[in-house]
């Protein structure tokens, strides 16, 4: 190998090392961000509930500041306009039951909880469809547009794989629907269904492993550059 080619390879290895080191630092920064996010979410989950955001505050609702905020709202359920969204939980496969809650100022989609496949029909869990004024407490969730991985929502066929608030509101003819939904807490419903309080709050934290991987590759690139530099003609 000529000196020119060795120099070119060594330079490429040094450039790669710099890029790999930058990726490692980025993962460490992501790790700090993830830990701050987890701490913020834990604080929201265990805080006293606040009123669900009203229309005047909807533009400011976002995942960073409001996801998993513990909220409460009072109104009447429209059980005739519920939507079933396919779900897989610790209780097995089934459906989330999303029911519009009509409050004095807006309509709020409430994920009342999980039902197994044999409770899909509303008649099989009629006892849980409470009439009259109810107060719901739960966690604010950000809409899930389009559908799940490789499974798109099909409003025309009433097949739902994600809790897409805007699409569900349109399909059910809901006026003044909030752009978020609420996962109801574990307070039991009459008859036992739907089963609330099954929100999974889990944030993967593999950033340290990724950072160490990038730094290891950086070290290999530096070693390769050093070896090329040491070769004599």
Would you mind telling me the total number of residues written for the chain in this entry?
Answer: 233
Residue 156 lies in domain = 69-192
**48 falls within a domain:** no
What is the domain-level CATH number for residue 129?
Answer: 2.40.50
Instruction: Verify that 83 and 28 share a domain, yes or no.
Output: no
92: left (phi over 0), alpha (psi -120 to 50) or beta: left
Asked if the structure places residue 163 within a domain, the reply is yes
Q: Are 75 and 104 within 8 A, CB to CB?
A: yes
Whole-angstrom distance, CA of residue 179 vs CA of residue 189:
25
DSSP state of 113: E
**pLDDT tens figures, 199-211:** 887 777 788 898 8
Same domain? 76 vs 127: yes
| Tally of structural domains, the chain | 2
Report mean pLDDT in 10-residue bins for the chain, 233 residues: 74 87 89 80 88 95 91 96 92 94 95 94 87 93 84 92 95 94 93 90 82 90 81 60
Nearest to 175 by CA among 110, 111, 105, 112: 105
Residues 185 and 213 in one domain: no
pLDDT of residue 129: 87
Q: What does the alpha-carbon distance between residue 110 and residue 141 come to, in Å, rounded to a whole number? A: 10
* pLDDT at position 233: 54
The contacts of residue 163 (CB under 8 Å, 6+ apart) are: 85, 96, 98, 109, 111, 141, 143, 144, 181
Residue at 57 is within a domain = no
Same domain, 26 and 135: no
- For 87-137, the pLDDT digits (tens) are 988 888 999 999 999 999 899 999 999 999 999 998 889 888 888 899 999
Q: Within this chain, do residues 76 and 124 fall inside the same structural domain, yes or no?
A: yes
Give residue 143's pLDDT: 94
Shared-domain flag, residues 78 and 188: yes
Q: Which candidate, 153, 68, 156, 62, places its Cα nearest to that of 111?
A: 68
Residues 107 and 35 occupy one common structural domain? no
Please tell me whether residues 99 and 136 are part of one structural domain.
yes
């Amino acid at each position: 190998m000529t000196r020119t080619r060795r120099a070119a390879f060594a330079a490429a290895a040094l450039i790669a090392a710099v890029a790999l080191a930058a990726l490692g630092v980025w993962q460490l920064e992501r790790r700090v961000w993830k830990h701050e996010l987890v701490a913020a979410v834990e604080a929201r989950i265990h805080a006293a509930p606040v009123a669900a955001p009203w229309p005047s505050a909807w533009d400011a609702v976002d995942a960073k500041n409001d996801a998993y905020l513990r909220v409460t709202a009072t109104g009447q359920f429209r059980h005739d306009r519920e939507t079933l969204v396919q779900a897989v939980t610790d209780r097995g496969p089934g459906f989330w039951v999303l029911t519009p809650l009509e409050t004095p100022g807006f309509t709020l989609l409430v994920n009342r909880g999980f039902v197994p496949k044999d409770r899909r029909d509303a008649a099989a869990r009629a006892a849980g469809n409470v009439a009259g004024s109810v107060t719901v407490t739960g966690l604010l969730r950000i809409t899930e547009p389009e559908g799940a991985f490789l499974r798109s929502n099909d409003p025309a066929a009433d097949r739902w794989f994600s809790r897409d608030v805007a699409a569900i509101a349109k399909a059910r003819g809901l006026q003044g629907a909030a752009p978020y939904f609420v996962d109801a807490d574990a307070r039991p419903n009459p008859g036992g269904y739907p089963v609330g309080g099954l929100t999974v709050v889990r944030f993967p934290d593999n950033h340290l492993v990724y950072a160490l991987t990038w730094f290891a590759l950086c070290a290999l690139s530096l070693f390769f550059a050093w070896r090329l530099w040491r070769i004599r003609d």
